[in-house]
Structure 1
Amino acid sequence: MAPTYYESDHVAPFLPQQSIFDYLLPSHPGVSPLPDWDPSLPAFIDASDGRTLSRADLRENALRLKTGLNALGVKRGNVACLWGMNSLEYVQAVYGCLAAGVVVSPANVAYSPEELAHQINNSGASVVFIQPALLPLLDKARAHIKHKIDPAHVILLRATQDKELAAAGIKTIYEVYGTPAAEAEHFDGSDSLETAWLCYSSGTTGLPKGVMTTHWNLTSQLQVSNVAYETLQSGPGGDVVMGSVPMSHIYGVTLSLLQPFSMGVPVVILPKFEEIAALEAIQKYKITHLLLVPPLFLLFVHSKNLDKYDLSSVRTAMSGAAPLSRELSEAFLARIPTAVALQGYGMTETTPNICTMNRSEAAGRDGWVGRLVPSYQARLVSPDTGLDVAPGEPGELWVRGPSVMKGYHNNPEATAATMAPGGWLKTGDVLVRDEHGWYKVVDRLKELIKYKGFQVPPAELEALLIQHPHVADAGVVGVWNDAQVTEMPRAYIVPHESLKIATEGEAASFAAHVQRFVHDKVAQHKKLRGGLVILDAIPKSPSGKILRKDLRTRAGKETEPVWGATRDRESKL
């Protein structure tokens, strides 16, 4: 059938062509379309000690870092790698790089030396802002880095200096500060198409790829998100955001580092999500808006500490980076009844939001990811025929718009494989759209299991498995069966901590019970014919995505007992 183009029913806002720094912290009135927020408003708060950066502090420090970087020979267009957990120093490094026109390339704090070296080599980073604890790993990475990094270009993300590091000539970010520059670098008009951010994809398959995100991608994303996303209120008694998602991930970049700031709302920073620290922060700072991933929703559901804290300030909890099932959403809301669970959908390549929702429209929409944000056009395309599917049918989501990346850095082949003629980005995700313009993720195209020609979405089985009272977490992949010449669904599950499995017999009994639980609720082709494996933890990326390649590797090695797998012959289906 002919292409069907879907568009947002939100009113499209003005999309300025300017730097992300000028958009957020303009030097003159009338430069940015944003409100002229009070410079004394708190912008970022350290959850552990209460240190606070006001909007004025952040602007001044950014311009001071620009001067300091320029004095080191770092110029507009250079790339800085940021490697560390969330912190006030991390935030200031980001905004200082933006003021200097330096491309921000955040690295996953869990990287090995080889993985860090890959990102530095691919991005060409000449500056590294680093958490001190990671310095030994950077030293190991140097053997794999193809260009020299000046020791003066290694800058510590910490408030105080260490004598030994000072003797080695390594400075803290504060020691690099100069006098405030008169102006930040500007990227007006066509210059706004220059790269501002270089996030690396999570690498669920292959080496991570650098996603070139431009200034216009970012300003456009913030403008449209502020129309379609939850409207946060600034000022006393207003909203407070919990910033625990990694700022190295596009989810943290947009919805923690940038979007609340654009709305005059403070972010309480946690280095990473830890249950007690998060609960204490919610209570102490009266946090209203949580940024979470599905595994953290699950943690709240199973928490034994929740009732010890006052969480009544929480109004909304946003889920991103991976699908949130209706069942998990409902279980979360039962634990925090003042909250409304929101869900969005996007990817690094789209900066990230494609679909989102707000509190007023979320009721009855558990499991859905919202409506298109303004400025996007979308299509749903059959992966089998390459043609657009009929309304109401699932298809691969293709999108185009001003927040779609410029391409993959130094990887034209990957760019060409992801982009279709006409500027369409092929998301690789299968979604369905209802008659009201709401979208639901069916599954990841490359992760769909094909059992004898039938498609089995792993996410559907995972959502079902965690409904079992004794299953804390689950991941599902397809495993190949030579005898039947087909893939079969296999579940990897983590038993709830209250369940003590001491013997092989107990494990086999538990696995059989879970299999029956699933088999009674699914169609024939979705049964766990690939068996069930009990693990201590499901491998996941920092953003909460299940690392199915790791599960498939496990399946290939078959080092763990597999319970209830089909052998040579099976049912007629």
Structure 2
Amino acid sequence: MHEIQADGGPLQQIPDDLTISQFILDAHHPTRPVPTRPHPWLIEEATGREIGSDELRIRSFGLANALKIRWDIGEDDVVCLFSPNHVDYVVAIWAVHKLGGVVTTSNPAYTADELAYQLQLTKSRLIITHPEVVAVTLEAARLAGVSPDRIALFDPHPGSVHANLPDLISLGLKQQQVFTERRLKRGEGKTKLALLLFSSGTTGKPKAVMISHYSLIANLVQTGQYFRLTDDSFPSEQKRYKTGDVALGILPLFHAYGLHAVLMGCMFLRVTLVISPRFQFERMLQSIQQYRVTHLYLVPPQAVLLCKSPVVQKYDLSSVECLMCGAAPVSAELTEGLMRVFPKSVIGQGYGMTETATMISFLQLDRRIGTLGCAGILIPGMTARLVRPDGTFAGYGEPGELHLRSPALAMGYFDNPTATAETFKDGWLHTGDEVVINEDKEVFVIDRIKELIKVRGFQVAPSELEGHLFDHPDVADVCVVSIPDEYSGELPFAFVLLKEDARLRVQADPKAMTETKRVIMKHVSDHKARFKWLAGVEFVDVIPKTASGKLLRRVLRDRARSMPKRRIPALPHTKL
């Protein structure tokens, strides 16, 4: 058996001449449910303000007109969004797309150095940011050579000289239209770039994944066909969504899971989405109760809090009908804990990647609780094969690296032909994940061959931290591995070979050992986002490597996990 074809039959037609906003706002697809009554598309969590499709359409038009008037944003120009979640996040994306531009989204926890790298790589012409992170934005713009007058704010800020979206939208609606909305030719959707989303690789810094409008639309069609919401022959009790459902948008919109799977997915399925600026645990509980949330999309650390925090008992969570967890593997124990908190809810996992734009598998529709440890079943249009280390194909129930073929695959990595050639080969995506698929098409993710560390759902490339640690004057060699953590799933841990003078200093004074470890950890925390900070440092006499010089990371990872448990510096549990 070389290939595993997902069930669900051939995919229905995927439009290749529409942008993603035109597909969601102005088109209909046979897999998309028809609304039975008007409903808000978005709700602003803090105020309860409801926003419908007409308002989204008008605001997108107004902003597009203003972006053209003010900065002449046009074909293939890149606009960077650097902000916590905001109800105008999708308005900004669709406005740029109307002009033929491209959007790159950035983690608002980034340092100025990290943001500057993204701005330079993507050649961003404009940054739309938030008052909370404007200081970082200004420094990053300076480092990247972006003029301060090319910064706009999502919200007004007292004393700010920067334009803000409410004023820009007002300007665009008052002025005569100066742009022509970008219309795609037949087939152009497959090559017209929509998003540059960042994904860490196994080497160097994060890479920009090139996602076309067609890829985004294709995955929504795959999702719609999987859920069978318009299939009258499908049992109504197995239909996961209905008019009037409400989801909570606590996942970050800069991330493919939050942006595509949740935000655009809910819009396509006609589910109202409550936009939360960021994850705060008790605020999440309040919103579930206040807005009678029916659908929760979480990452494992959030699920852990639901299972362990006594605060949960103060709130009525009975409205929750479906809870999906993704971005990192979910243990059987965690699933069982969620079953106790939500005894009547559908509970399961999904699996996706930025490079597949986004979903690969979903929880089985005929089950209330997914198979423990299972990441769901392949969605229609997915073809998989499992490849052993010797290059031969594995069969059902046998582990192998997952290769995928799908109409939703990304176009590759921006300005990085080497990485593209390594990952996208002959129409197949080499995921780097070691997977088992059984005869029921259930997917079990065993390990990450590509060795990424998943911290609260965010990817951390060991090589990025290793490259940074090499710059420290005391470090001669280093290997970063993952260690398990109950809240974050995994955390990065560094094994360090000290330079000779530092080694002698540490040997002579136990206090010097503690201080050196602290300084090395601070070297990371001063320059990297919070989720990349080290959980600890261990000094070693040698960093094990193969004869060719490749790190034997698994050896040190096993050593780290066999070490006595230590107190790990607490990560803030209130936000991602």
Normalised by the length of structure 2, the TM-score is: 0.75
- Partner amino acid, structure 1, of 2:241: Q
Query: In the aligned structure 2, how far is the partner of 1:256 from the partner of 1:474?
Result: 21
Query: In the aligned structure 1, how far is the partner of 2:144 from the partner of 2:254?
Result: 20
Partner of 2:79: 80
Aligned residues: CA RMSD: 2.9
Query: In the aligned structure 2, how far is the partner of 1:329 from the partner of 1:416?
Result: 38
Partner of 2:21: 21
SS, match of residue 446 in structure 1: coil
1:528 positional shift: 4.7
Q: 1:396 aligned to 391, 401, 419, which one?
A: 401
Partner of 1:351: 357
- Partner amino acid, structure 1, of 2:396: P
1:298 positional shift: 0.4
Query: In the aligned structure 2, how far is the partner of 1:394 from the partner of 1:480?
Result: 29
Q: Would the aligned equivalents of 1:23 and 1:32 in 2 still touch at CA under 8 Å?
A: no
1:473 positional shift: 6.2
The 1:31–1:475 alpha-carbon spacing in structure 2 relative to 1, beyond 3 Å, is closer
Alignment deviations for residues 99-122 of structure 1 (CA, whole Å, 9 cap, x no partner) = 333211110011000100111111
Q: Would the aligned equivalents of 1:76 and 1:102 in 2 still touch at CA under 8 Å?
A: yes
Alignment deviations for residues 121-156 of structure 1 (CA, whole Å, 9 cap, x no partner) = 11111011100121111121133204x3360x3111
1:358 positional shift: 4.6
Query: In the aligned structure 1, how far is the partner of 2:383 from the partner of 2:358?
Result: 15
Query: In the aligned structure 2, how far is the partner of 1:435 from the partner of 1:36?
Result: 34
SS, match of residue 395 in structure 2: coil
Alignment deviations for residues 396-439 of structure 1 (CA, whole Å, 9 cap, x no partner) = 1000111111010011111111122x211110101101111111
The 1:125–1:155 alpha-carbon spacing in structure 2 relative to 1, beyond 3 Å, is same
SS, match of residue 126 in structure 1: strand
- Partner amino acid, structure 1, of 2:182: E
Q: 1:410 aligned to 415, 427, 433, which one?
A: 415
The 1:403–1:283 alpha-carbon spacing in structure 2 relative to 1, beyond 3 Å, is same
The 1:265–1:364 alpha-carbon spacing in structure 2 relative to 1, beyond 3 Å, is closer
Task: Give ranges in structure 1 of 5+ residues lacking alignment.
Answer: 450-457, 467-471, 483-524, 544-573
Partner of 1:535: 568
- Partner amino acid, structure 1, of 2:385: R
- Partner amino acid, structure 1, of 2:93: V
Partner of 1:154: 151
Q: How does 1:327-366 map to 2 (within 5 A)?
A: 327-366=333-372
Q: 2:431 aligned to 427, 431, 446, which one?
A: 427
Q: 1:49 aligned to 47, 50, 56, which one?
A: 47
Partner of 2:120: 121
The 1:532–1:52 alpha-carbon spacing in structure 2 relative to 1, beyond 3 Å, is same
Q: How does 1:191-202 map to 2 (within 5 A)?
A: 191-193=188-190, 194-202=192-200
The 1:4–1:478 alpha-carbon spacing in structure 2 relative to 1, beyond 3 Å, is farther
Query: In the aligned structure 1, how far is the partner of 2:116 from the partner of 2:35?
Result: 40
* 1:142 matched to 2:141: yes
- Partner amino acid, structure 1, of 2:211: T
The 1:364–1:349 alpha-carbon spacing in structure 2 relative to 1, beyond 3 Å, is closer
1:347 positional shift: 0.8
* 1:379 matched to 2:385: yes
Q: Would the aligned equivalents of 1:24 and 1:261 in 2 still touch at CA under 8 Å?
A: yes
- Partner amino acid, structure 1, of 2:87: L
SS, match of residue 91 in structure 2: helix
1:232 positional shift: 4.9
Task: Give ranges in structure 2 of 5+ residues lacking alignment.
Answer: 228-237, 454-480, 498-557
Query: In the aligned structure 1, how far is the partner of 2:488 from the partner of 2:158?
Result: 45
Alignment deviations for residues 172-192 of structure 1 (CA, whole Å, 9 cap, x no partner) = 112112138597422242320
Query: In the aligned structure 1, how far is the partner of 2:69 from the partner of 2:242?
Result: 37
Query: In the aligned structure 1, how far is the partner of 2:69 from the partner of 2:46?
Result: 33
Q: Would the aligned equivalents of 2:377 and 2:443 in 1 still touch at CA under 8 Å?
A: yes
The 1:242–1:163 alpha-carbon spacing in structure 2 relative to 1, beyond 3 Å, is closer
The 1:157–1:164 alpha-carbon spacing in structure 2 relative to 1, beyond 3 Å, is same
Partner of 1:267: 273
Q: 1:445 aligned to 429, 438, 449, which one?
A: 449
Q: How does 1:397-546 map to 2 (within 5 A)?
A: 397-420=402-425, 422-447=426-451, 462=484, 475=490, 528-537=561-570
Q: Which has the higher contact order (CA 8 A, sep 6+)?
A: 2
SS, match of residue 261 in structure 2: helix
Query: In the aligned structure 1, how far is the partner of 2:311 from the partner of 2:202?
Result: 33
Q: Would the aligned equivalents of 2:31 and 2:224 in 1 still touch at CA under 8 Å?
A: no
Partner of 1:252: 258
- Partner amino acid, structure 2, of 1:315: E
Query: In the aligned structure 2, how far is the partner of 1:123 from the partner of 1:53?
Result: 31
Q: 1:368 aligned to 374, 383, 404, which one?
A: 374
Same amino acid, percent of matched pairs: 31
Q: Would the aligned equivalents of 1:346 and 1:352 in 2 still touch at CA under 8 Å?
A: yes
Q: 1:172 aligned to 144, 161, 164, which one?
A: 164
Alignment deviations for residues 176-226 of structure 1 (CA, whole Å, 9 cap, x no partner) = 121385974222423202110111114686311100000000000001012
